[in-house]
Amino acid sequence: MSKATNGSVAFAWQPSRVGVFLSLLFLPLLLWLGFWQLDRADQKRLILATYQANQAAASVALGELDGADAQYRRVRVRGRYLPTPQLVIDNRVRHGRPGYEIAQLFAPSDGTPPLLVNRGWVAADLDRRTLPVLPAPTGEQTVEGSLYRRLPGGLQLDDRVAAPLADRQRVGWLDVPRLAGWLARPLYPYQLRLERGAPGALEVGWPVVAIYPQKHTGYAVQWFIMAAVLVLLTVLANSNLAAWLRAQRTKTTERDHDNS
């Protein structure tokens, strides 16, 4: 422990190479995680803003869209459900119960490329080998819902599904490009998530985001606090800061005592 000439403790830096190395290794990571969470919060705010703006807009016919960002835009379209393939999207949990989302193609009457329609959720049978049989309405129908394109990011596991598809095909995940690749035909770039009461609708309703901006901000604060704690522990472990602070407190107490 270093002492000043007057007997007081002098601050001294006594670094441990291993300790400092580990701190320099983990500190940038903790800071990066904090700023990454702040960036995710900004992304979620943009998603929610787009959702609120496009959901507030009046529902329009699919062919009347003006080419702007159509994510979450409410539309109506007239046409026919194509009976096959019926896509059974696995591992969709609602109300604490395992289930599926049912999707199939819808051919618009105006010649627009076929539209992937997500009809909503249904509970799974106790025997997971048994897939639900939920035929869509036949004949021309007018369906309404919100356009949706899968957001980037997220881990998609390989479900080993490949063409040709069965008439009723279980899949682990689904988006328009994947289905278009299987079918080797162009599809409308957005899927349609049905509204309640639309022909063929099951249990509908989807969360806009899984984690809201406030939670991402909270996670960022936690990472920054961990970074600050790491810096403090590094200084404490590689210096006599604790002894220096005790000496300063003792010195202040003695000075106050002498003045009194």
Instruction: List, for residues 146-205, the tens digit of each pLDDT value.
Output: 999 988 766 778 889 999 999 999 999 999 999 999 999 999 999 999 999 999 999 999
Report the alpha-carbon distance of residue 196 to residue 205 in Å, rounded: 8
Q: Is residue 7 one of the residues assigned to a domain?
A: no
Say which amino acid occupies 199.
P
Is 176 inside a domain boundary? yes
* pLDDT 10s digits, 15-54: 778 878 889 999 999 999 999 999 999 999 999 999 999 9
The answer to the question of residue 90 being in a domain is yes
Structural domain boundaries enclosing 144: 73-194
Instruction: Give the Å distances, CA to CA, from 73 to 47, 67, 98, 148, 161.
Output: 13, 11, 29, 8, 30
Q: Greatest CA separation found in the chain? A: 98
| Residue 207 domain flag | no
pLDDT bracket for residue 2 (50, 70, 90) = low
- DSSP E strands in 151-254: the ranges are 168-171, 191-194
Model confidence at 90, pLDDT cuts 50, 70, 90, reads very high
pTM assigned to the model: 0.79
